[in-house]
Amino acid sequence: MRIERARGTRDFLPAEMRKRKIMEERMRDVAERWGYEEIRTPTFERAELFTLKSGEAILKEMYEFRDKGDRHLALRPELTAPVIRMYINELKMTPKPTKVYYFGNCFRYEEPQKARYREFWQFGTEIIGSDRPEAQAELIALAFNILKSLGVKAELHVGHVGLIRERLRAAQVDEAHINTVMRLIDKGERQAVIELMNEADVKKDLIDDLLCLLDSKGKNALQEARGRNIIAADSDALRELELLLEYLDYYGVDYTLNLGIARGLDYYTGMVFEIYDAGGMLGAQNQICGGGSYRLAALFGGEDIPLTGFAFGFDRLAEIFGVDDKDLERRGVVVVPIRDKEADLTVTKEAIEIASRLREFVPTHIDLMNRSLSAQLKYANACHDSFAVLVGKNELKESNVTLRNLDTGEQEKMSVEDCVVRLKAYFGVIGEEK
RNA sequence: GCCGGGGUGUGGUAGAGGCUAUCCCUGGGGACUGUGGAUCCCUAGACCCGGGUUCGAAUCCCGGCCCCGGCCCCA
């Protein structure tokens, strides 16, 4: 009987893995050069870590279970909460800001769709200890540069939930209602927002101001809003946002100001941003990154430290990441022992020794099926190898090997030493050992 | 949770109630134990699962599973 893959999961074949590894390497590389260090948390956690953050309702969207010790556990549905937990448990004493990144699989029990799976990967970073504009700008610039390293065309929208919250407070809306409104804004339900405000007896011109703020887009939105007195001149959020945008210019980051981004979660406190695929390849799921400044640590029993972070949907990036076929094609070498019918082991011994040397710097095959010479070459061809190193008794007699270029068919006899040098040069190995 | 379209060897397919299920690609072996990509031969390998209708089901019906896409959601 044939066993099917679990719903919403995928197998990654070598070609896909090569692509994903290239992406991972580039993303890690950028993060490292920006001074972030990789961390890793467990694949499963106590379920309450996630319900505390997102409410009991998300239990039905998680893979949660009881272990044999009756602990209530869950496969992680995201990585922010685990990272904060790790920080509170064991990173508290590190110098601030603490800059970390992560890459890991997450699990959600949802209906699979385009670029949406039950097991998916997130790549994200957290700045622990700062939500100042300097930190916000660096974080956004980092996300921007990671996308650049992947050659992905994307659109960055930056907002600030503080502006809207301030506006609502000015309108005498209480905190509980503010959170409700933020959630509605995030869902784009304007009508519901208006109704709720009417119920709360908010004056009509204040409602208009709010709606106007939500619609603000583009570089000049801030000046316009201030010009029309929608934002108070002494607004803290405004000052923070202006500074952030200034810094983004220094970083050379292109952005669209979008005050309508609300991220309907209570713990977002300041800057928020989202990045969308600009190529239209993702259908309905076109958001590839989300982040912002938030306060979450106190919820998990830590000090209420400011946090700024983002997470990329790695699978969505993989969907739109284009890579040269050349980069994906694995080019290696095959060592071909030519055995005679007496099954003389000296040829095999020599071949293995040569393969071991080549394996220090290039993918190397050697026959595992006791095949004939021509069958070995046929296999090498099917595997897109570049060179064959032929080792037979003729070569052994002369202490030589035959190096055959599988692209051109040219071949020539040479010593093992010359062969190694030649292949090192071809595969661009620098820093010859002495 | 809801809606639409699908599921035949590794992959891609033909087949529309009736012979041993078509063809291409693929895997293994051989022609060919010192030179590959061609050709030929042999060989491996499939009707998603369960039930129903029928003399007879890959084909029609029902349920499930899975895939693709959309809604909801997206921490």
What chain A holds in terms of domains, given with CATH numbers, is 14-320 (3.30.930.10), 330-426 (3.40.50.800)
Stretches in chain A below the pLDDT threshold 70:
1-2, 264, 324-330, 341-343, 430-434
Per-residue flag: A381 CB under 7 A of strand B: yes
Res A230: pLDDT: 82
Per-residue flag: A192 CB under 7 A of strand B: no
- Record the tokens describing residue A374, joined without a space: 């021509």
Contact A269, A294 (CB under 8 A): yes
Model-level ipTM above the cut of 0.90 = no
Rounded Cα–Cα distance for residues A280 and A63 (Å): 31
**């070598």: which residue's tokens?**
A14
Rounded Cα–Cα distance for residues A297 and A364 (Å): 50
Res A361: pLDDT: 94
Per-residue flag: A430 CB under 7 A of strand B: no
Res A433: pLDDT: 44
| Sheet of A256-257, strand order | A37-38, A98-107, A119-128, A306-313, A287-295, A268-277, A154-160, A256-257
Per-residue flag: A406 CB under 7 A of strand B: yes
Res A386: pLDDT: 92
Res A186: pLDDT: 82
CA of A330 to C1' of B45 (A): 28
Rounded Cα–Cα distance for residues A176 and A173 (Å): 8
Contact A75, A62 (CB under 8 A): yes
User: DSSP letter at A64?
Assistant: E
Contact A161, A265 (CB under 8 A): no
CA of A285 to C1' of B72 (A): 13
Assign A414 to helix, strand or coil.
strand
Res A426: pLDDT: 92
Chain B, protein-covered positions (CB within 7 A): 1-3, 26-30, 32-37, 48, 65-75
Written as one letter, the residue type at A337 is P
Helix-strand-coil split of chain A, %, nearest 5:
45, 20, 35
Per-residue flag: A432 CB under 7 A of strand B: no
CA of A397 to C1' of B72 (A): 74
Per-residue flag: A187 CB under 7 A of strand B: yes
Closest amino acid to nucleotide B70 (CA–C1'):
A284
Res A434: pLDDT: 36
Res A327: pLDDT: 64
Rounded Cα–Cα distance for residues A353 and A399 (Å): 13
Written as one letter, the residue type at A359 is R
Beta bridge partner(s), residue A336: A390
| Sheet of A333-337, strand order | A364-366, A333-337, A387-391, A401-405, A411-414
Contact A126, A309 (CB under 8 A): yes
Per-residue flag: A279 CB under 7 A of strand B: no
Res A341: pLDDT: 66
**């820093």: which residue's tokens?**
A431
Residue A299's region, left for phi above 0, alpha for psi from -120 to 50, else beta, is alpha
The CA-CA-CA angle for residues A131, A133, A134, to 5°, reads 95
